[in-house]
């Protein structure tokens, strides 16, 4: 029997009043108040499977921060309300188990990475991607500027602090035929600050800011430059998508509007939505994270590659599946339709014609 989806009562609002620290502040070892992915005491009442939910719960993958700004912008500007939706945003954190929460129907939508969802589907979780959050991953390696490592090939024999089981680590090992020693990821910069040869996983939108505030000269190696570039995505339970495609469509459409506004217009409504939940975030940090997202076109992508906010490319998803299978992270080659429902995301933009074809197209008619 299908498990019904949660529906929230007003008492659920209390989790939005908790105080969370942003990822990078936690990296500096500061204490935080409230939960960070543990169970809470929210009360829910459950709607029948055929009933459209009156409220939508979005489970994020980390503490409230600019990387979620478009969702808060959509809420603040009434875009969800215009679509007939009441959206609650539940912050994540270490151990927030986004995939499991969505698979157990404890959230309607979750945020994650396309490679994670592919592996989860291969292992039997009923998840499906419905749109892209970011066209390009902000995942990177943080290095001191004096570190001799300049390329991924230079990582051979080096020690890197990274999340245990990170898919990109296995990809780098296989693609470059290198040996990487792993230290389990700790959300702190203490070892990095004291060791000029230390290398650790980071987000380009976060840790470099705080390292530089410590007076360090640092640089990053974007994992996407290795060829491993998963989308960051919005995903849902397959049952929810099949039962309520109109709700999914409205949520995706309003979220994309929120991101277009957050990146292209005044971001202050979105910032005002998440800043009180992370009071330790400074205006300088928020500005840095937002500017870095824009500089690297993480959310909107590159028009010349056919990318735009929310869009998913079938060809790119096929390549990601093939890469994951090649490095042994998938047991078989999945079909794109097993991991993504492309009905809701915008179509990729048409790719520009090669110069030779464009010249030919402009010639005189015979």
Quote the mean pLDDT of the chain.
86
Same domain, residue pair 173 and 268? no
Q: Map residue 4 onto helix, strand or coil.
A: coil
Same domain, residue pair 22 and 132? yes
Cβ atoms < 10 Å from Cβ of 84: 12
Last residue of one domain, picked from the residues 226, 249, 282? 226
- The alpha carbon torsion through 23, 24, 26, 27 (nearest 10 deg) reads 120
User: Binning pLDDT at 50, 70 and 90, where does residue 354 land?
Assistant: low
Terminal Cα distance for the chain, rounded: 66
- In sequence order, the 6+-apart residues with CB closer than 8 A to the CB of 254 are 74, 79, 80, 82, 83, 85
Instruction: Look at the chain and report how many structural domains it folds into.
Output: 2
Structure tokens at 33: 């108040």
- Residue 49's pLDDT is 53
| Residue 1 scores a pLDDT above 90 | no
Same domain, residue pair 240 and 312? yes
Residue 314, CA distances (Å) to 43, 47, 181 in order: 39, 34, 34
Q: Does residue 178 belong to any structural domain of this protein?
A: yes
- In sequence order, the 6+-apart residues with CB closer than 8 A to the CB of 12 are 42, 43, 44, 55, 88
CA–CA gap between residue 202 and residue 263 (Å, rounded):
22
Q: What percent of the chain has pLDDT over 90?
A: 77
Same domain, residue pair 166 and 306? no
Q: Does residue 23 belong to any structural domain of this protein?
A: yes
Same domain, residue pair 131 and 166? no
Q: Does residue 360 belong to any structural domain of this protein?
A: no
CATH number assigned to the domain comprising residue 250: 3.40.190.10
Best CA proximity match to 342, nearest among 318, 366, 326, 323: 318
Same domain, residue pair 126 and 258? yes
- Residue 6's pLDDT is 54
What is the H or E stretch that residue 43 is in?
none
Domain that holds residue 199: 139-226
Q: What is the DSSP string of 129-196?
A: EEEEEESS--EEEEEETT-S--SSGGGTT-EEEE-TT-HHHHHHHHHHT---EEEE--S-SHHHHH-T
- Residue 94's pLDDT is 82
Same domain, residue pair 212 and 245? no
CA–CA gap between residue 90 and residue 92 (Å, rounded):
7
Judge contact between 101 and 80, C-beta under 8 A.
Answer: no
Same domain, residue pair 129 and 25? yes
- Residue 351's pLDDT is 85
Same domain, residue pair 216 and 332? no
Same domain, residue pair 292 and 321? yes
Q: Does residue 356 belong to any structural domain of this protein?
A: no
Q: What is the DSSP string of 193-259?
A: HH-TT--EEEETTTHHHHHHHTT--EEEEEGGGGT--PPEEEEEEHHHHHH-HHHHHHHHHHHHHHH
Structure tokens at 214: 């410590």
For residues 32-42, give the mean pLDDT.
36
- Residue 47's pLDDT is 46
What is the H or E stretch that residue 110 is in?
strand 109-113
Q: What percent of the chain has pLDDT over 70?
A: 83
Residue 112, CA distances (Å) to 30, 61, 148, 155 in order: 25, 6, 32, 26
- Residue 335's pLDDT is 98
Q: Does residue 25 belong to any structural domain of this protein?
A: yes
Last residue of one domain, picked from the residues 210, 226, 242? 226
For residues 190-209, give the mean pLDDT.
96
Q: Does residue 366 belong to any structural domain of this protein?
A: no
Structure tokens at 151: 């390329």
User: Binning pLDDT at 50, 70 and 90, where does residue 108 land?
Assistant: very high
Last residue of one domain, picked from the residues 208, 226, 244? 226
Largest CA distance in the chain: 75
CA–CA gap between residue 261 and residue 263 (Å, rounded):
6
Q: Does residue 65 belong to any structural domain of this protein?
A: yes
- Residue 28's pLDDT is 33
Q: Does residue 335 belong to any structural domain of this protein?
A: yes
Same domain, residue pair 28 and 112? yes
- Residue 51's pLDDT is 73
CA–CA gap between residue 233 and residue 276 (Å, rounded):
25
Range in 6-20, 125-139, 240-254, 276-290 with the lowest mean pLDDT: 6-20
Same domain, residue pair 80 and 217? no
Residue 274, CA distances (Å) to 65, 148, 157, 271, 344 in order: 6, 39, 41, 6, 26
Tell me how many degrees the CA angle 298-299-300 measures, rounded to the nearest 5: 105
């Amino acid at each position: 029997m299908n498990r019904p989806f949660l529906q929230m009562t007003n008492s659920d609002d209390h989790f939005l009043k908790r105080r969370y620290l942003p990822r990078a502040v936690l990296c500096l070892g500061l204490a935080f108040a409230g939960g960070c992915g543990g169970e809470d005491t929210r009360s829910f009442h459950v709607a029948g499977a055929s009933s459209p939910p009156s409220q939508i719960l979005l489970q994020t993958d980390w503490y409230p921060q600019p990387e979620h700004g478009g969702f808060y912008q959509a809420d603040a500007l009434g875009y969800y309300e215009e679509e007939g939706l009441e959206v609650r945003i539940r912050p994540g954190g270490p151990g927030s188990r986004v995939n499991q929460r969505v698979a157990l129907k404890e959230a309607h939508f979750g945020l994650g990475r396309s490679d994670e969802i592919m592996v989860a589907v291969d292992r039997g979780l009923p998840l499906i991607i419905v749109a892209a959050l970011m066209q390009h991953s902000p995942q990177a390696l943080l290095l001191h500027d004096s570190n001799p490592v300049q390329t991924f090939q230079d990582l051979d024999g080096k020690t890197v602090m990274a999340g245990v089981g990170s898919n990109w680590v296995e990809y780098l090992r296989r693609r470059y035929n290198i040996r990487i020693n792993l230290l389990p990821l700790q959300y702190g910069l203490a070892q990095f600050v004291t060791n000029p040869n230390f290398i650790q996983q980071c987000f380009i939108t976060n840790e470099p800011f705080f390292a530089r505030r410590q007076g360090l000269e640092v640089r990053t190696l974007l994992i996407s430059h290795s060829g491993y570039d998963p989308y960051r995505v919005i995903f849902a339970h397959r049952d929810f998508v099949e039962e309520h495609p109109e709700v999914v469509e409205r949520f995706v459409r309003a979220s994309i509007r929120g991101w277009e506004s957050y990146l292209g217009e005044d971001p202050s409504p979105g910032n005002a939505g998440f800043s009180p939940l992370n009071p330790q975030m400074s205006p300088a940090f928020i500005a840095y994270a937002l500017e870095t997202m824009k500089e690297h076109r993480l959310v909107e992508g590159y028009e010349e590659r056919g990318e735009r906010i929310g869009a998913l490319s079938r060809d790119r998803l096929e390549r990601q599946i093939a890469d994951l299978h090649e490095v042994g992270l998938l047991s078989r080659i999945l079909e794109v339709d097993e991991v993504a429902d492309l009905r809701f995301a915008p179509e990729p933009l048409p790719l520009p014609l090669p110069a030779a074809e464009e010249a030919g197209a402009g010639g005189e008619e015979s």
